[in-house]
Chain A
Amino acid sequence: MNRRLSITVALALFSFACALSFSGCGGNRTDAGQIRKGVLKANLPEPGKIEAVQGAGVPSVSELISGYNARNFGSPGWRRVSLDLITNGQLTRAFTVVNLWKDDKQEVRTLFLLQEPTGLRGTNYLLAERRAAAEIPDMKVFLFLPSGERQVLEIEPSKFNEGLLGSDFTYTDLRMQLPTGGYNYKLAGQCVLNNEPVWVLEAEPVSETVRQSSNWSLARFYLAQKFQFLIGADYYTDSEESEGGRKLSKKMRVVNFEQINNVWTATEINMHSDENHYSILKMKDARFGLPKIDARLFQSNELSVLADSIRAGWTPEKLSATNP
């Protein structure tokens, strides 16, 4: 091989090397679907191993449900809560909501009055739960929208599992009672959750219609054994890919709770339904057992009056003095 040819080969090899590095072949390859969503590192209390229970001292399912539904939740009362929506670990939306509730033995009515953000002030919801109803829907939800036509609208029962204010909490998550109709309950056992011994109550929709409107096929409620309180809940949907044919789709945990004036109340609830998105409900203030609250406030046609009062600066603290 003569010298010129050697130079040529060397040049060719050099250009080959240049082209390789220029092209970035090897380190630069495309990898379809390279974007991976970060999995949220949630530090939530998890239930311990569920132990089967039977024999004396074990409450029946109906005792558990009726005991829970008959608990003292400080009616009538109010609380101010913050609802924070967290996406990818960042606070993306914050609401301040005032809750008023009243139990008239036939129905439990709960108002959700939006105070913040300012643009939505006056947007109100009214949730009416029938007590001990054998059929579902056993509740109604009314919505008042202050802008535009100022309408009071009723929400279709099939949509009770839509996200309240875009959060992970649905309308049904915020009800005061466990529904008595529409679901088959069974006591799955007991375990410990958030350092509290709990009964594990499982619920399955009785029909496909109920399943579709619930958005879950199995729910597991963790009810405190020592007092009447719901400490957590897990919701499962059908999934062929998951073990047991079900996958966890939503998880509620009462992270903090306390007893105020003999009423057990949650001071922080977390709801996770998406790996990158969750919602936190925190109690800021509360008053229980306020006999002066006017029952007329809990009528759907009063929602517009409430909205105007809120916009005019009404606060629940005034309830101890006068009604809005």
Chain B
Amino acid sequence: MLRLLRFSTNHPRIVVTVVAAVTILACLFIPRVRLQLDGRSLIPVDDPRLAASDKAAEFFGLRDVVVIAVVNKQTGIYTPETLERVARLSEGLERIDGVIASSVTSLATIPRLFISSDKINTRPLLNHGAGFDARTCEQVRFETESLGINDGVIVAEDGTGAAIFADVTPESDRETILKQARNLVDKEADGGDSVYLSGTALAQAALGQSAARDLMKLIPAVIFVVGLILMMAFRHFVPACVSLAEIGISLLWTVGLIGLTGHSVFVTTLVMPVILMAVGVSDDVYALSHFFEEARRDEGQPIVKVVQTAFTGVSRSVMITTISTVIGLLSLAITNLEPLRVFGIFGAVAILFSSLFTFSFVPALLVLLDPKLSKKQVSRKARETRGMLAIFNALSLAGPRRVLALVILSAGIASLMMTQLKIDDSWVKNLPGASDVYRGDKEINNSFAGTITLDLMIDSAEAEGYLDPEKIKTLGSIEDAISELPTVGSVRSVYSDILRVNASLRGLNYSDYRNAVLKGERELTRGEVEQAMLLMASVRRTPITEQIDRQYQIARVTVFIRSANYERIHDVLETAARSALKISTAANAVTPFGDGWISYLTVRLLVEGQVWSIALALLTDLALLSLLLGSIRTGAIAILPVVFSLLVVFAVLAATGTPLGIANSMFAGIAIGIGLDFSIHLTSVYRQGIKKGLAHGDSLKRALIGTGPAIITSAVAITAGFSVLVLSEVAPNMQLGLMICLSLLVCAAATLILVPSLVMARRTAR
């Protein structure tokens, strides 16, 4: 590293030229970076927990969906105007590129088995192009209610809303679909109906758009804020420009590398450049502080000598802090969530590039630019020294043991509060509150059965198992058991469809017939089951194979959960597993899949990943610091401030009811990586003082004066950098910004208070 430093200061033009050339090369690969929008991409392809559910999803042809809802609270939907609107929107949705036309499901498309004058009719309730009058509307209401279609999925139970669902092809451009769906809805703006948009496909696109808008806004903001803070800290524009150029180039190299290696970025971690710009400034603050200090000590020195002396002086601590930051970020890579892994690995790469530039590009630029020291900078040093001495004296006066007792008490309370921490994530909840998709989803969750579905594949363990009336009735009992959960909006399976067909053939009301079968007042024979299956198999529009396999062995139960979250999905899974025992005792009788399952699994992986990654990062950092500082005790002291700051942030999240999700969970890795830098600088200088033979008190004072101002500058600069995330439209990004700011401020304060107190307390004890 020192050889590189010498080469860079002696040949600055070569270094700058090489860096510029490689940067241009890196930029060529940036267009190859792909943005992943689908939910399944969050979890690796080969995750064993998803192998079975992937097969189930393929088996039943599961895809991302678009939902359009038409709501009229005043008149309900059974009016010519509203029903025509539903028919128009259904037809319009069929024509959207990427939407599978045959999958559009609404009152205007689903075949209903209706018998009139001994004629079997499977035409949709609403016919395209057919005129609607009051009598037709009343007939639609009668048939909808009679067939039990008003179960909250395509028709709201109270008849005030009608929904249109459609599948999208996996390769379709979600943003194009969102744009066309918005156009479709905009055309229906007139009239008394409210039209809403939702569905995973649209939520992904809307989130992608919000994240892209965020980037356009946040990158200039973070450049401005970090630049301003650096200008204020050094009272000079050169360090700000040099530091920002260095961070920007390391980012370009990293993004180019992502493109070169064919990796993708995820919408939940699209804010990575903003985070890395804020993180990357850390080392520069220490290195440039030393540079100005060196320049101040001997103003007559040639610039090459000043740069070499200053950067050599910080090489050790910058190396250590780089390692700790890299460890913090890499700790994210051990999780089983792709966005965190990609962020962790490439974030670490960006930090390594940044540190490499700290000893090559930055010194080269400083040599070329040769910044001159101003008088203001000289007077500032005296003020900083006085401030640090005041901290030291205050700690001595208050008594280190008292300070420690207060910290332990705070940590204890924070640990207790942490037990209430919620973990949750969803595409829609991540959207800005003003988003049409967010508002649409909220309304659909209020008026309908919910937008998140959990699918269950239930194996009867034998071919034609579900032709057995007892087994198909057990499928019905699973439906009924799940339906009783208060958060479940609706449950569907082939059992409901069989009863619906049989009720139609008998001219009975579906609900009455279902209750009669449930009470045993009406028998369900194998012939009736087979007959109903045969009729459904004949209808092309809604293939029965989306509900049951062609051998009638494996059935799908779809559960609509209102405002689905981890606990609600967990309740459904437990109920289903208990009920399914009547069908098969096999351990794999129930295979969950679909959006709800991915969301549930994501949360579980997030919890497991957080525990392991934080533990691993702290243990690795402890081992490294103990080795570098030559003392396990000093290593442990250096770790404590960051541990304390993590506890405080988790406690604040729990207290405010903010759930930990994929995007905001990145805070732990970042906080460990950067927060540890503070105590590394302080303890390193303290240990150097001890080695030089200074008394503990003097060494501590020297360490505080030497590193305290830089710790504060760094904490303020990075916090200011991260604070721009509060401008984000995406709630988790905003939360991430606040969490890192809080964590770093607590960590910096804990470093300047807790570390000296622990050292003082230890000396007093001796």
**A residues at B contact (CB < 8 Å):** 1, 4-5, 7-9, 11-12, 15-16, 19-20, 22-26, 28-35, 37, 85, 87, 92-93, 117, 119-120, 123, 143, 145-149, 151-156, 158-159, 161-166, 215
CB of B379 to closest CB in A, whole Å: 36
Docked-complex contact A148 and B531, CB < 8 angstroms:
yes
* A145 CA to B467 CA, complexed, in Å: 16
Docked-complex contact A119 and B526, CB < 8 angstroms:
yes
Which of A9, A32, A148 lies at the interface centre, i.e. has the most chain B CB atoms within 10 A of its CB? A32
Docked-complex contact A26 and B261, CB < 8 angstroms:
yes
| B65-73, B118-126, B232-240, B652-660: which lies at the interface | B118-126
Q: Report if A34-B45 is in contact (Cβ < 8 Å); known contacts: A8-B323, A158-B123.
A: yes
Docked-complex contact A156 and B123, CB < 8 angstroms:
yes
Chain A residues contacting B761 (CB-CB under 8 Å) are: none
| B326-334, B454-462, B566-574, B718-726: which lies at the interface | B326-334
* A8 CA to B345 CA, complexed, in Å: 19
Q: Report if A5-B319 is in contact (Cβ < 8 Å); known contacts: A33-B170, A93-B551.
A: yes
| B150-158, B411-419, B535-543: which lies at the interface | B535-543
| Tally of B interface residues using CB under 8 Å | 70
* A145 CA to B540 CA, complexed, in Å: 20
Q: Report if A1-B534 is in contact (Cβ < 8 Å); known contacts: A8-B628, A35-B58, A159-B122.
A: no
Pick from B40, B122, B505, B525: contact of A145, CB below 8 A. Answer: B505
Docked-complex contact A33 and B120, CB < 8 angstroms:
no
Docked-complex contact A5 and B264, CB < 8 angstroms:
no
Chain A residues contacting B539 (CB-CB under 8 Å) are: 162
Q: Report if A120-B527 is in contact (Cβ < 8 Å); known contacts: A9-B319, A12-B327, A12-B624.
A: yes
* A26 CA to B53 CA, complexed, in Å: 23
Docked-complex contact B1 and A1, CB < 8 angstroms:
yes
Chain B residues contacting A5 (CB-CB under 8 Å) are: 316, 319, 628
Q: Could you pull out 5 A-B pairs where Cβ atoms are within 8 angstroms? A: A4-B630, A5-B628, A32-B170, A145-B531, A148-B531
Q: Report if A154-B120 is in contact (Cβ < 8 Å); known contacts: A8-B627, A32-B41, A33-B170.
A: yes
CB of A4 to closest CB in B, whole Å: 6
Which of A1, A23, A93, A153 lies at the interface centre, i.e. has the most chain B CB atoms within 10 A of its CB? A23
Q: Check if B344 is an interface residue, CB within 8 A of chain A.
A: yes
* A92 CA to B262 CA, complexed, in Å: 41
Q: Report if A87-B550 is in contact (Cβ < 8 Å); known contacts: A8-B627, A147-B531.
A: yes
CB of A147 to closest CB in B, whole Å: 3
Docked-complex contact B345 and A156, CB < 8 angstroms:
no
Given A9-B319, A23-B333, A153-B119, 13 more A-B residue pairs with CB atoms under 8 Å apart are A20-B345, A25-B342, A30-B40, A30-B43, A34-B45, A35-B54, A120-B531, A143-B120, A148-B531, A156-B120, A159-B121, A162-B539, A166-B550
Docked-complex contact A154 and B119, CB < 8 angstroms:
yes
CB of B684 to closest CB in A, whole Å: 12
Docked-complex contact B538 and A23, CB < 8 angstroms:
no
Q: Check if B422 is an interface residue, CB within 8 A of chain A.
A: no
**Chain A: CB-nearest residue to B39:** A32
* A215 CA to B101 CA, complexed, in Å: 14
**Which 3 A-B residue pairings sit nearest by Cβ, starting from the closest?**
A166-B537, A33-B170, A147-B527
Chain B residues contacting A164 (CB-CB under 8 Å) are: 538
Docked-complex contact B123 and A149, CB < 8 angstroms:
no
CB of B90 to closest CB in A, whole Å: 15
Docked-complex contact A15 and B120, CB < 8 angstroms:
no
Docked-complex contact B120 and A148, CB < 8 angstroms:
no
CB of A183 to closest CB in B, whole Å: 21
Chain B residues contacting A7 (CB-CB under 8 Å) are: 627
Q: Check if B141 is an interface residue, CB within 8 A of chain A.
A: no
Docked-complex contact B42 and A30, CB < 8 angstroms:
yes
Docked-complex contact B45 and A29, CB < 8 angstroms:
yes
Docked-complex contact A23 and B345, CB < 8 angstroms:
yes
Q: Mark B324-353 against chain A: 1 for CB-CB distance below 8 A, else 0.
A: 001100110110001001101100100000
* A159 CA to B119 CA, complexed, in Å: 12
Q: Check if B320 is an interface residue, CB within 8 A of chain A.
A: yes
Docked-complex contact A163 and B58, CB < 8 angstroms:
no
Q: Report if A120-B333 is in contact (Cβ < 8 Å); known contacts: A1-B2, A87-B550, A156-B123.
A: no
Chain A residues contacting B611 (CB-CB under 8 Å) are: none
* A93 CA to B316 CA, complexed, in Å: 73
CB of B185 to closest CB in A, whole Å: 23
Q: Check if B175 is an interface residue, CB within 8 A of chain A.
A: no
Chain B residues contacting A32 (CB-CB under 8 Å) are: 36, 38, 40-41, 170
* A310 CA to B264 CA, complexed, in Å: 63
Chain B residues contacting A28 (CB-CB under 8 Å) are: 44-46
Q: Check if B186 is an interface residue, CB within 8 A of chain A.
A: no
Docked-complex contact B330 and A19, CB < 8 angstroms:
yes
* A266 CA to B442 CA, complexed, in Å: 59
Q: Check if B497 is an interface residue, CB within 8 A of chain A.
A: no
Q: Report if A31-B531 is in contact (Cβ < 8 Å); known contacts: A8-B320, A8-B627, A148-B502.
A: no
Docked-complex contact B345 and A120, CB < 8 angstroms:
no
* A165 CA to B538 CA, complexed, in Å: 6
Chain A residues contacting B54 (CB-CB under 8 Å) are: 35
Chain A residues contacting B1 (CB-CB under 8 Å) are: 1
Docked-complex contact B264 and A4, CB < 8 angstroms:
no
**Chain B: CB-nearest residue to A162:** B538
Docked-complex contact A25 and B345, CB < 8 angstroms:
yes
Docked-complex contact A153 and B319, CB < 8 angstroms:
no
Docked-complex contact B537 and A163, CB < 8 angstroms:
yes
Docked-complex contact B333 and A20, CB < 8 angstroms:
yes
CB of A103 to closest CB in B, whole Å: 26
Docked-complex contact B264 and A156, CB < 8 angstroms:
no
Q: Check if B115 is an interface residue, CB within 8 A of chain A.
A: yes
Q: Check if B544 is an interface residue, CB within 8 A of chain A.
A: yes
Q: Mark B524-560 against chain A: 1 for CB-CB distance below 8 A, else 0.
A: 0111111100110111100010000111000000000
Docked-complex contact A25 and B333, CB < 8 angstroms:
yes
Chain B residues contacting A16 (CB-CB under 8 Å) are: 326, 330, 348
* A156 CA to B117 CA, complexed, in Å: 12
Chain A residues contacting B341 (CB-CB under 8 Å) are: 23, 25
Docked-complex contact A19 and B505, CB < 8 angstroms:
no
**Chain B: CB-nearest residue to A166:** B537
CB of A223 to closest CB in B, whole Å: 27
* A92 CA to B330 CA, complexed, in Å: 49
* A145 CA to B538 CA, complexed, in Å: 14
Docked-complex contact B527 and A19, CB < 8 angstroms:
no
Q: Report if A155-B120 is in contact (Cβ < 8 Å); known contacts: A29-B338, A35-B54, A149-B506.
A: yes
CB of B121 to closest CB in A, whole Å: 5
* A162 CA to B544 CA, complexed, in Å: 13
CB of B397 to closest CB in A, whole Å: 37
* A260 CA to B665 CA, complexed, in Å: 76
**Chain A: CB-nearest residue to B342:** A25
**Chain A: CB-nearest residue to B129:** A208
* A117 CA to B262 CA, complexed, in Å: 53
Docked-complex contact B530 and A156, CB < 8 angstroms:
no
Chain B residues contacting A9 (CB-CB under 8 Å) are: 319, 323
Docked-complex contact A29 and B264, CB < 8 angstroms:
yes
* A26 CA to B262 CA, complexed, in Å: 9
Q: Check if B620 is an interface residue, CB within 8 A of chain A.
A: yes
Chain B residues contacting A26 (CB-CB under 8 Å) are: 261
Q: Report if A149-B505 is in contact (Cβ < 8 Å); known contacts: A15-B620, A20-B333, A25-B333.
A: yes
Q: Check if B263 is an interface residue, CB within 8 A of chain A.
A: yes
